[in-house]
Amino acid sequence: MIYLKPITVEMIYVSVLQSKLQIRADGGMYWIPVDKSVPKVGSILMESIAELMQSTDCICVQDFAKELNVDAKELSPCIHLLTGQLASDFLVAYRLAQAKEWLACTDLTVTEIAQKCGMKWQSVLTERFKKWEKTSPTEYRRLHRPDNFRELYRWKTEG
């Protein structure tokens, strides 16, 4: 029997940040660019999805299928086989990982973050966030964003 290790969001995740402040042992500081390359996981499909997560605001299986030029009814079982999750759940989990990073590291509004994650309204992000993370986006930000986040991270504000 062949066992496939499920591909997780963390395995293909690419940071939304542009750079992070690095502090040397001597106290000197410098900016280090964030690697934007998709980690290789042995699945062209999942690597392509990760690339689309960076370049589009797609969130539903149909949108990804259209971008990949495949049928959504064929894409869904492939994602399920590779991840062990429903395709829709995996795609939402990836977008929520992005939202969490934006919340913890930027001053983008929850509305702006929702739109970057392919959700037309803040209420959709809030609903999904509460369902999956058991807290609101605002509370997550309060708990996870350092006071000096502007000094630690650089991010793209448009696009």
| Banded model confidence at residue 3, pLDDT cuts 50, 70, 90 | confident
Tens-digit pLDDT profile for residues 138-147: 999 999 999 9
Tens-digit pLDDT profile for residues 68-125: 999 999 999 999 999 999 999 999 999 999 999 999 999 999 999 999 999 989 999 9
Residue 58: per-residue pLDDT: 87
Residue 79: per-residue pLDDT: 97
Residue 4: per-residue pLDDT: 76
Query: What would the 3-class secondary structure string for the chain be?
Result: CCCCCCCCHHHHCCCCEEEEEEECCCCCEEEEECCCCCCCCCCHHHHHHHHHHHHCCCCCHHHHHHHHCCCHHHHHHHHHHHHCCCHHHHHHHHHHHHHHHHHHHCCCCHHHHHHHCCCCCHHHHHHHHHHHHCCCHHHHHHHHCCCCHHHHEEECCCC
The architecture that CATH gives domain 9-34+43-155 is Orthogonal Bundle (1.10)
158 has a pLDDT exceeding 70: no
Q: How far apart are CA 96 and CA 10, in angstroms?
A: 12
Q: Phi and psi dihedrals of 7, rounded to 5? A: -85, 125
Residue 157: per-residue pLDDT: 74
| Banded model confidence at residue 159, pLDDT cuts 50, 70, 90 | low
Residue 50: per-residue pLDDT: 95
Residue in the block written with tokens 């591909």: 7
> Which percentage of the chain shows pLDDT scores above 90?
88
